[in-house]
């Protein structure tokens, strides 16, 4: 039995509900679960997760985002979602963004969105299991998981808690990208998971006056790093102040650019 089937068959294990009752996970039908990870914080992992969701939704897929970056959740703000998930008996109903992307994040369950979450590994693992078991995701083509940053214990705990189909790695030109990708590939191998590929963020910026591409953080190493680690290079995203602005204002779904238009092609359903 694959890791995924195993999870699905034992989906109710960590639930606190009466075992006779169906759980949300029993009724959910999620076709593909893809996690987005990065070597460190701030490289744009959550932004890439959000942009991927927007691109998939525009292609007509049903999409959910599980914000598993428990201690630094930023997905709800990016989508302007602040409604509390409703308890519908068999689980929590994830609130929807303006275009209908279903979102679950610890931030939506906190009293104040700026309350800090100071949790260690096991508690993070439990929360993620509940985001899987006790959330009424319903029918989804894609569930994207925004992992905690880094390649340490926290993302590993999350990865082990979910039936993932694949991983996307986000890096920036400042990083020792070869090392980051190799670590990610090793983690993925430990769990028999495919690495879908690498995305480089902050690769360049375009001068608004002359259109020249400027490599603000130095030469792009994404393609080279991906090759070294034996994974696909999915693409480069520029630094775009308009993207930062729409994310800050909760309007990521309004963002359009030639570089992000075809992001949905990165993760095709089989």
Stretch that binds ligand ADP, among 7-15, 18-26, 36-44, 188-196 (CB under 6 A): 36-44
User: How many CB atoms are located within 10 Å of the residue 262 CB?
Assistant: 11
Which parts of 188-207 interact with ligand ADP (CB under 6 A)?
A: 201-202
11 or 156, CB closer to ligand ADP? 156
Question: DSSP readout, 157-209?
Answer: HHHHHS--SEEEEEE-TTS-HHHHHHHHHHHHHHTT--EEEEEE-S--EE-TT
Q: Which tokens in the block code for residue 113? A: 């969105």
Binding pattern to ligand ADP, positions 132-171, x when CB under 6 A?
A: -----------------x----------------------
Among 39, 44, 91, 225, binds ligand ADP (CB under 6 A): 44
CA distances from 45 to 145, 178, 182, 213, 237 (A): 10, 17, 17, 22, 12
Among the listed residues 108, 243, 263, 267, the single contact to ligand ADP using CB under 6 A: 243
Q: Would you say 191 or 244 has its CB closer to ligand ADP?
A: 244
Of 247, 253, 255, 266, which lies in the binding site for ligand ADP, with binding defined by CB under 6 A?
247
Dist. CA 246–CA 263, nearest whole Å: 18
Q: Return the sign of the alpha-carbon dihedral for residues 244, 58, 167, 82.
A: positive
Question: Which residues within the stretch 48-77 sit at the binding site for ligand ADP (CB under 6 A)?
Answer: 74
Binding track over 202-241 against ligand ADP, x by CB under 6 A: x----------------------------------x-xx-
Question: 36: number of CA atoms within 13 Å, CB side?
Answer: 30
Contact positions toward ligand ADP, by CB under 6 A? 38, 41-47, 74, 149, 201-202, 237, 239-240, 243-244, 247
């Amino acid at each position: 039995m694959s890791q995924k089937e195993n999870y699905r068959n034992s989906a109710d294990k960590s639930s606190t509900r009466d075992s006779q009752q169906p759980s949300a996970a029993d009724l959910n039908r999620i076709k593909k679960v893809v996690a987005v990870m990065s070597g460190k914080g701030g490289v744009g992992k959550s932004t890439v997760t959000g942009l991927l969701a927007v691109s998939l939704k525009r292609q007509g897929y049903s999409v959910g985002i599980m914000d598993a970056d428990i201690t630094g959740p930023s997905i709800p703000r990016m989508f302007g979602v602040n409604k509390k998930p409703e308890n519908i008996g068999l689980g929590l109903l994830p609130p929807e963004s303006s275009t209908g992307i279903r979102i679950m994040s610890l931030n939506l369950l906190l009293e104040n969105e700026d309350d800090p979450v100071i949790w260690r590994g096991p508690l993070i693992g439990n929360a993620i299991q509940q985001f899987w078991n006790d959330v009424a995701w319903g029918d989804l083509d894609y569930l994207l998981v925004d992992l905690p940053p880094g390649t340490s214990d926290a993302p590993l705990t999350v990865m082990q808690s979910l039936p993932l189909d694949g991983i996307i790695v986000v890096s920036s030109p400042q990083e020792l990208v070869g090392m980051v990708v190799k670590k990610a590939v090793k983690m993925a191998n430990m769990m028999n998971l495919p690495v879908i590929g690498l995305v480089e963020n902050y690769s360049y910026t375009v001068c608004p006056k002359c259109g020249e591409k400027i490599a603000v953080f130095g030469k792009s190493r994404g393609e080279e790093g991906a090759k070294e680690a034996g994974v696909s290079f999915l693409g480069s995203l520029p630094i775009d102040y308009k993207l930062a602005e729409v994310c800050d204002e909760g309007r990521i779904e309004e963002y359009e650019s030639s570089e992000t238009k075809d992001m949905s092609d990165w993760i095709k359903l089989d």
